Chains A and B, each alone.
Chain A
Amino acid sequence: MSLPKPAMRGLLAKRLRFHLPIAFGLSLIAAAAFKFGVTEPRKKAYADFYKHYDSMKEFSAMKEAGIFESVRPTGK
């Protein structure tokens, strides 16, 4: 019982033609997932924090707490 001749050429090319688009696609999906799962929420958190940030109020609170050396709390 003799064996039939199998395909012997271009085996790697066939494998790459199948796997490379999948690899490329998965990488793009991973990048998109990171962008929309991590970086965009992070940017939004910073934007939301600073949208109504009153720096003078925060400064006065810190000043009254006495942490600065160049400006002391009122009444000291």
Chain B
Amino acid sequence: MISSAVLRGIGSLARTRTAFTAPLAVRCYSHAKVETDEEFDSRWVTYFSKPDLDTWELRKGMNTLIGYDLVPEPKILDSALRACRRLNDLASAIRILEAVKDKSGPHKEIYPYVIQELRPTLQELGISTPEELGIHKV
């Protein structure tokens, strides 16, 4: 029967997708080289480290990064926050923190971990978290 064959197909599709944890460039049919997590992270750290990054590139980078199926690593966020400092953009810096919390979704342990890892950077650059400003609740 057609429906049982389709169900078996969906079940086997779910089971064989062992590479579901990698967010990018993992297709069953492409021969392109799969980028590792470390390569992905360092690519983005480099992107935000550009000394003459302009505001458009900062916003574009953040929007692209938010579109991926992952919460950005603290080192990428550190690089982005330093770019905000170079551009004198405190609003975007705090917005980046709000975006991390939003990307975590139901996984409430991610945001406190990221803030913990970013605490030295936040202190150095003088960035307050949304909770410290009281703007974390509607």
Residues of A within 8 A of B (CB): 2-14, 17, 20-21, 24-25, 28, 32
Known contacts A8-B71, A17-B20; 12 further A-B pairs (Cβ under 8 A): A3-B113, A6-B109, A6-B113, A7-B107, A9-B69, A10-B22, A11-B70, A11-B105, A14-B20, A17-B14, A17-B17, A21-B7
Counting chain B residues whose Cβ lies within 8 A of the other chain, the interface size class is 20 to 34
Q: How many Å lie between the Cα of A54 and that of B14 in the bound state?
A: 56
Contact B70 A20 (CB under 8 A): no
Question: What B residues does A25 contact at CB under 8 A?
Answer: 7, 10
Q: Check: B126 CB closer than 8 A to any chain A CB.
A: no
CB distance from B80 to the nearest CB of A (A): 15
Q: Is the interface of A mostly helix, strand, loop or mixed?
A: helix
Question: What A residues does B3 contact at CB under 8 A?
Answer: 28, 32
Q: Check: B120 CB closer than 8 A to any chain A CB.
A: no
Q: Check: B37 CB closer than 8 A to any chain A CB.
A: yes
Question: What A residues does B21 contact at CB under 8 A?
Answer: 9-10, 13-14
Q: How many Å lie between the Cα of A13 and that of B21 in the bound state?
A: 7
Contact B113 A20 (CB under 8 A): no
Given known A3-B113, A3-B116, contact A13–B23 (CB-CB < 8 A): yes
